[in-house]
């Protein structure tokens, strides 16, 4: 069987060599043969698979959710992406700013994280902001990389130091986005934080930047706050919404008790919005709390916009 080198694959798919190796090592997306010298050698079937995966990632999907699909399923996704692009009136070549950044750009960001390269990661964020704008940066760069970094950390293929490095850099960048908006003092108010035991608050900072971009006054209260502290923050800030990020773990009985307590101490008219990688695992408790479980920043945008249009409580 004829095979080609990783350099040839990179040229034909538009993926960097680093991305190709990462998709193999982290996600098992392909299993290339090895030469006698242990160099990776790729069949035409594997080249086509990588091209299809790259096309799907450019369409906004995560490689972690694509790696198990076969080529026939990936071709269906590619067809759907092409139809969506035509319907949206994209340029004749179908390329957008996100196409120029993904998937190579996200892998570039992950590579900077792995090297703990502050300058490279900051430059990557800035270039992404210029190409995609604030909302594009939040939705298509910060949030997807945060999910991948979390998955890699949980799988043991990224160190805690690398995860903390990315989180610190991304939080600073998201916070600066939040600060740049000059919000009307009469705008609706939202408190953003994480409940007790939830120490990962990057998702909350991304939510805060998204809300500020949507015209909300935001108070970020940080990580791991007990129910009474969250309720007190809502009261002190005069907020109508409390947004919580729940990332890890999925089976914390202490968190269930905290959410039940939050339902007891929080006024009934306060809307609770909850997102994050592990949030769905607590769906029954959140439903009893009257919270809305959101699966994406797009859903958050829709919800915040709808709440802005509702008559305000006197």
Domain assignment present for 189: yes
Mean pLDDT of 142-146: 90
User: Over 80: is that where the pLDDT of 40 sits?
Assistant: yes
Neighbour order of strands in the sheet with 33-34: 3-4, 40-43, 33-34
Of the ranges 9-18, 86-95, 230-239, 289-298, the best mean pLDDT one: 230-239
The CATH number of the domain holding residue 12 is 1.10.1660.10
User: Over 80: is that where the pLDDT of 188 sits?
Assistant: yes
Q: Name the pTM for this structure.
A: 0.67
Q: Rounded distance, CA 45 to CA 70, Å?
A: 11
Do 9 and 50 lie in a common domain? yes
- Domain count of the chain? 3
Element (H, E) at 249: none
Do 191 and 282 lie in a common domain? yes
Q: Rounded distance, CA 107 to CA 126, Å?
A: 16
* Residue numbers of the domain that contains 48: 1-94
| The pLDDT of residue 73 | 85
Do 187 and 299 lie in a common domain? yes
* Residue at a domain's end among 45, 73, 94: 94
Domain assignment present for 122: yes
63's tokens: 């490689």
Domain assignment present for 314: no
Element (H, E) at 187: none
pLDDT band at 88 (very low <50, low <70, confident <90, very high): very low
């Amino acid at each position: 069987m004829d095979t080609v080198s990783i350099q040839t694959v990179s040229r034909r798919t538009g993926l960097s060599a680093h991305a190709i190796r990462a998709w193999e090592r982290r996600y098992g997306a392909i299993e290339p043969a090895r030469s006698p010298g242990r160099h990776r050698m790729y069949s035409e079937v594997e080249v086509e698979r990588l091209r299809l995966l790259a096309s799907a990632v450019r369409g906004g999907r995560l490689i972690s959710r694509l790696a198990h699909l076969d080529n026939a399923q990936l071709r269906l996704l590619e067809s759907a992406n092409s139809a969506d692009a035509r319907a949206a009136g994209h340029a004749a070549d179908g390329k957008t700013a996100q196409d120029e950044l993904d998937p190579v750009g996200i892998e570039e960001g992950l590579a900077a994280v792995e090297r703990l390269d502050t300058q490279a990661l900051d430059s990557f964020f800035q270039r992404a902001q210029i190409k995609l704008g604030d909302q594009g940066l939040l939705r298509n760069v910060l949030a997807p990389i945060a999910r991948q970094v979390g998955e890699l950390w949980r799988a043991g293929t990224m160190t805690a130091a690398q995860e903390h490095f990315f989180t610190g850099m991304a939080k600073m960048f998201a916070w600066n986005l939040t600060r740049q908006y000059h919000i009307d003092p009469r705008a609706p108010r939202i408190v953003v934080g994480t409940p007790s035991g939830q120490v990962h608050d990057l998702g909350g900072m991304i939510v805060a930047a998204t809300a500020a971009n949507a015209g909300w006054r935001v108070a970020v209260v940080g990580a791991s706050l007990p129910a009474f502290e969250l309720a007190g923050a809502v009261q002190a800030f005069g907020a109508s919404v409390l947004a919580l990020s729940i990332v890890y773990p999925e089976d914390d009985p202490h968190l269930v008790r905290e959410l039940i307590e939050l339902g007891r101490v929080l006024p009934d008219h306060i809307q609770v919005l909850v997102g994050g990688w592990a949030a769905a695992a607590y769906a029954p408790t959140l439903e009893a709390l009257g919270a809305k479980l959101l699966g994406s920043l797009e859903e958050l945008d829709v919800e915040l916009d709808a709440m802005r249009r509702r008559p305000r409580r006197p």
